[in-house]
Structure 1
Amino acid sequence: MSNMTDNFVITFLQRFDEHPFEVTLHGKTYLIGNGTPAFRVRLKEDISAKELLTSTSLALGEAYMKGDLEIEGDLFEALDHFLGQMGKFSTDHKKLKKLIFSSQSKKNQEKEVTSHYDIGNEFYSLWLDDTMSYSCGYFKNEEDTLYDAQCNKVERILKKLDLKKDMTLLDIGCGWGYLLIRAAKEYGVRGVGITLSKEQKKKFDERIEEEGLTGMVSAELMDYRDLESWGKTFDRVVSVGMLEHVGREHYDLFVKNVEAVLNPGGLCLLHFISALKEHPGDPWIKKYIFPGGVIPSLREMINILSEHRFYTLDVESLRRHYYKTLRHWDKNFNDHRSKIEESMGTEFVRMWDLYLNACAATFHNGIIDLHQILVSKGVNNQLPMTRWY
């Protein structure tokens, strides 16, 4: 074993020395860092210097997808040790400009969103829980299942919104509709959900009919930018896991549209993946998982909300809950791995397994967070004096 080499890949990887690991390349094994290796990497061939320097994330991610890079042992454990050092990644923003800063036009954003969410309802149903919730759960108890956690999350959101019978609720980015269905059944509210995904709307429409909620709940194919001209207003607005698709230059526009449809004194809850500071995003995630996705910082969202006279009532971090949610998703995904691989191919399966584990690792390391912000449009003096949840 050695740590001396003139090979660029090995030299480049030596910057990631906080946790020792082994790399095997061309029959030689190299130790990165000092101590007992936390994980082992096998490289079937070199990765070019140009690729690593243009985007470390893309270079390593694509090598893993293609099977040119293998991790011995637990993928999550390896990523959990490695991705805490993402600050050392190289990213050439000029060369990756079109990928990192993609068009924010309606047409392009619809294309980007549907590329992820219209993979197929059958695919998502294999590894999500029965609520079909594709966002962070809330684990009240150690023994909670994924289904329990997703029901807990929705219950928590609905309680924060302080719903009353016959109130109206808009869900921006409603997914497969579980939150609105539960709001209608438990609180007697009338709800509308908007989405850009035809697959999600189709499933949501089926659920509305199955639950006997026709006339109480409806789903619309709509861009959030059309809310202001829609002519409808609501007592409550919620958005779960959609803000990440808006794009940094449009956060103000998003809030402006929320303001337009929310009644005075009304409450809005935003549930979104967040970051400590503003960052353009990861190239691999943007290319293969969430085209155009950008993670807002908590501080910029609160600042923008304040500019529109939204009063911040409550802020909660669910970072560790998302880590746990992702671990459940990945287990479910791998329980159905052979079936998914049969229909989607080996590279797709390796890509999604990497995505789910990498996200779990970045939440675990605090590189990204999950926040719920509750705000009121103007002053609301009618709410309970204490945290009512």
Structure 2
Amino acid sequence: MSIKKVIYKKLLKNLSTEPFDVTFWDGSTIHYNDGISKFRLTFNKPLNRKSLKENPMIALAEGYMDKDIEVEGHLEYVMETIFSKQSSFINQPKKKLSKSTKKGNNKQTSKENASFHYDIGNDFYRLWLDPTMNYSCAYFKSEHDSLYEAQVNKMNHILKKLNLQPGQRLLDIGSGWGHLIIEAAKQYNVRSLGITLSEEQYRKTLERVEAEGLVGQVDVKLMDYRDLMNENITFDRIVSVGMLEHVGHENIPTFMDNTHKLLKEGGVALLHCITGLEEVEGNEFLTKYIFPGGAIPSIRELIDHMSQNNLRIVDVESLRRHYTLTLRHWVENFESNIDKVRDQFDERFIRMWRLYLNACAANFTYGVSDLHQFLITKGVNNDLPMTRDYLYQEDE
């Protein structure tokens, strides 16, 4: 065996729990693990040795993106077998955060990071999201729910948890394409404000608000959450869905402090975000190619900073398995519209997003990350229902 192949053999021997084949650029093949192969990796050319040794995850991901590696087999399944192999390189202990490695996103970088991901174009996201344009974990009352049904379920689930009352003021931090603030106004007759850093989302939300005839009741602003303090306004309810993952560990105290200051006494907030068990640096593939500046907050750091700001936890719910189903729907829609995606982007982009969506589905299946909804109040609130029954009562 050549010296080049020795590096691959050492790296790949602990890659997966399942039997698989690896075919190299010279046509030779190595079989790993006992049994009939479940998938095959084909290396069309050697990868950069230095990159492979220093950061195998990035090297293999870029090899796939550049067509230097082909995968025969379902990509999500392949990633599931890698995540389930505790000794694989992808499951090695992540670098813990320290004061020297913690990175915060200032207002300028936050704007640039949001634009990098969310301003790819509404036409792209429209191809594989559901008609509500919700780009976050859905809520499946049944595994047979369509993606649209599950996203409507999620929206109603959140709004019920907030226990909205007519005339109240609602703030959505990171309001996406505006579905939540519009539905809150329509269903509960509240005044809602959404803020976003994405110009594409901002423009689309304005269009939707006008089309629904809600101008004056629903508003959206293109602004950073840290600037809202200058508006001299408070809210009865605050919601944030899929935004905390973008602030960075360093800014979680600021986010919680602002939530406390923007929320009226006794007010209710719901934070919906991906969570981890420990404070670690962001996944290098995601921060390089998908979500620059992103970092998954740990449950304990979120709870710690909530308590420091007199934000009392009323309820916590995990939706991890719902996110796996959500991502599988996104993958199906993405692949069903691949020709239209190809009209907008090159093959490297397509393979990058294919890897991202499938790897994320596998990630949630094996609990590498979780998804939690935290229902919190500013100080004591004795007016919320005492049980969860109200969440599951069908609307008349």
- With the length of structure 2 as denominator, give the TM-score of the two structures: 0.93
What is the distance in 2 between the residues matched to 1:119 and 1:274? 25
* Residue 202 (structure 1) aligns with: 203
8 Å CA contact 2:11–2:89 kept in 1: the answer is no
CA positional deviation for 1:244:
0.2
CA positional deviation for 1:92:
12
What is the distance in 2 between the residues matched to 1:101 and 1:72? 38
* Residue 288 (structure 2) aligns with: 287
8 Å CA contact 1:227–1:258 kept in 2: the answer is no
What is the distance in 1 between the residues matched to 2:160 and 2:376? 14
Distance 1:326 1:93, change over 3 A: closer
Deviation readout 1:283-315 (Å, 9 max, x if unpaired): 111110000100011121011101111110000
What is the distance in 2 between the residues matched to 1:155 and 1:92? 38
* Residue 72 (structure 2) aligns with: 72
* Residue 18 (structure 2) aligns with: 19
Asked if residue 170 in structure 1 is aligned to residue 166 in structure 2, the reply is no
Matches within 5 A, 1:195-344: 195-344=196-345
Matches within 5 A, 1:13-162: 13-25=12-24, 26-85=26-85, 88-89=88-89, 104-162=105-163
CA positional deviation for 1:49:
3.4
What is the distance in 1 between the residues matched to 2:78 and 2:129? 24
8 Å CA contact 1:57–1:282 kept in 2: the answer is no
Q: Secondary structure at the match of 1:270?
A: strand
Distance 1:86 1:147, change over 3 A: farther
8 Å CA contact 2:260–2:310 kept in 1: the answer is no
**Matched AA of 2:251:** H
CA positional deviation for 1:172:
0.0
What is the distance in 2 between the residues matched to 1:5 and 1:32? 18
- Per mean C-alpha deviation after superposition, the further-off stretch among 168-177 and 272-281 is 272-281
What is the distance in 1 between the residues matched to 2:38 and 2:72? 10
Deviation readout 1:329-370 (Å, 9 max, x if unpaired): 010001111111122111111111111000001001110110
Deviation readout 1:267-292 (Å, 9 max, x if unpaired): 01000011122221211111100001
* Residue 394 (structure 2) aligns with: none
Distance 1:6 1:346, change over 3 A: closer
What is the distance in 2 between the residues matched to 1:326 and 1:240? 16
Distance 1:13 1:333, change over 3 A: same
CA positional deviation for 1:164:
0.7
8 Å CA contact 1:101–1:292 kept in 2: the answer is no
What is the distance in 2 between the residues matched to 1:102 and 1:311? 27
Q: Secondary structure at the match of 2:264?
A: strand
CA positional deviation for 1:17:
4.5
**Matched AA of 2:6:** N
**Matched AA of 1:8:** I
Deviation readout 1:19-41 (Å, 9 max, x if unpaired): 22211102111122233322111
Asked if residue 9 in structure 1 is aligned to residue 42 in structure 2, the reply is no
8 Å CA contact 2:16–2:81 kept in 1: the answer is no
Q: Secondary structure at the match of 1:200?
A: helix
CA positional deviation for 1:260:
1.0
CA positional deviation for 1:50:
1.9
Q: Which runs of 5+ in 2 are unaligned?
A: 392-396
Asked if residue 184 in structure 1 is aligned to residue 185 in structure 2, the reply is yes
Distance 1:45 1:220, change over 3 A: same
8 Å CA contact 1:126–1:333 kept in 2: the answer is yes
**Matched AA of 1:68:** D
- With the length of structure 1 as denominator, give the TM-score of the two structures: 0.94
What is the distance in 2 between the residues matched to 1:121 and 1:249? 30
What is the distance in 2 between the residues matched to 1:34 and 1:283? 32
What is the distance in 2 between the residues matched to 1:87 and 1:111? 36
CA positional deviation for 1:102:
5.7
8 Å CA contact 1:9–1:47 kept in 2: the answer is no
Q: Secondary structure at the match of 1:314?
A: strand
**Matched AA of 2:187:** E
**Matched AA of 1:258:** T
What is the distance in 2 between the residues matched to 1:72 and 1:292? 32
* Count of aligned pairs: 383
8 Å CA contact 2:104–2:247 kept in 1: the answer is no
Q: Secondary structure at the match of 1:228?
A: helix
**Matched AA of 1:368:** S
What is the distance in 1 between the residues matched to 2:357 and 2:75? 10
